[in-house]
């Protein structure tokens, strides 16, 4: 479907949501309409997956070490074992999230979390890969 036709349908749906008092559905539809209107939805299916919350924003501030959360996670060397588990009981460690120049590591045994920071040039997987433009 072409973008103009989809915009028209989204607008009609929004009017109907408003008429029926469906406010919880109207807010995300408005965001979708804005993304379509400004060319931010580019694939052939016009998909937009958007899940943001206060919790998500705070977590990204912690991961990127931005105030006031710059000290929320300890920074440990790459390949570190869990700093909280006793040596004889250390659980498996997993990268929960990757980002440019680092990753958030989590102990699967005790759920302790920390950051391992690495120069961007050494990371080659996950969400740290540059997005093609």
What six digits make up the tokens of 17?
């949501």
pLDDT reported for residue 128: 46
pLDDT reported for residue 122: 56
Check whether 126 has a pLDDT greater than 60.
Answer: no
Question: pLDDT higher for 127 or 63?
Answer: 63
pLDDT tens-digit readout, 2-25: 888 899 999 999 999 998 888 888
pLDDT tens-digit readout, 34-70: 999 998 887 778 888 878 778 998 999 999 999 999 9
Q: How many CB atoms lie within 10 A of CB 93?
A: 19
Q: Are strands 102-107 and 93-99 parallel, antiparallel or unpaired?
A: antiparallel
Residues 6+ apart with CB under 8 A from 18: 26
Element (H, E) at 116: strand 113-117
Report yes or no on whether pTM surpasses 0.75.
Answer: no
Q: How confident is the model at residue 1 (pLDDT cuts 50, 70, 90)?
A: confident
Longest Cα separation, the chain = 63
Check whether 120 has a pLDDT greater than 80.
Answer: no
Q: Are strands 74-76 and 113-117 parallel, antiparallel or unpaired?
A: parallel
Give the span between the Cα atoms of 70 and 95, in whole angstroms. 19
Length of the chain in terms of residues written = 133
pLDDT reported for residue 124: 54
pLDDT tens-digit readout, 75-118: 999 999 999 999 888 889 999 999 888 999 999 999 999 999 98
Q: Where are the domains of the chain?
A: 3-37, 72-128
């Amino acid at each position: 479907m072409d973008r103009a036709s989809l915009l028209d349908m989204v607008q009609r749906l929004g009017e109907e949501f408003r008429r029926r008092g469906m406010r919880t559905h109207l807010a995300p539809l408005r965001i979708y309409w804005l993304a379509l209107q400004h060319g931010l939805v580019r694939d052939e299916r016009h998909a937009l997956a958007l899940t943001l919350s206060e919790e998500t924003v705070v977590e990204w501030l912690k991961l990127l070490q931005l105030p006031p959360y710059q000290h929320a996670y300890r920074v440990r060397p790459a390949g570190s074992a869990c700093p909280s588990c006793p040596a004889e009981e250390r659980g498996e460690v997993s990268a929960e999230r990757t980002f440019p120049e680092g990753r958030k590591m989590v102990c699967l045994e005790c759920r302790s979390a920390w950051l391992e920071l690495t120069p961007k040039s050494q990371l080659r997987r996950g969400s740290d890969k540059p997005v093609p433009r």
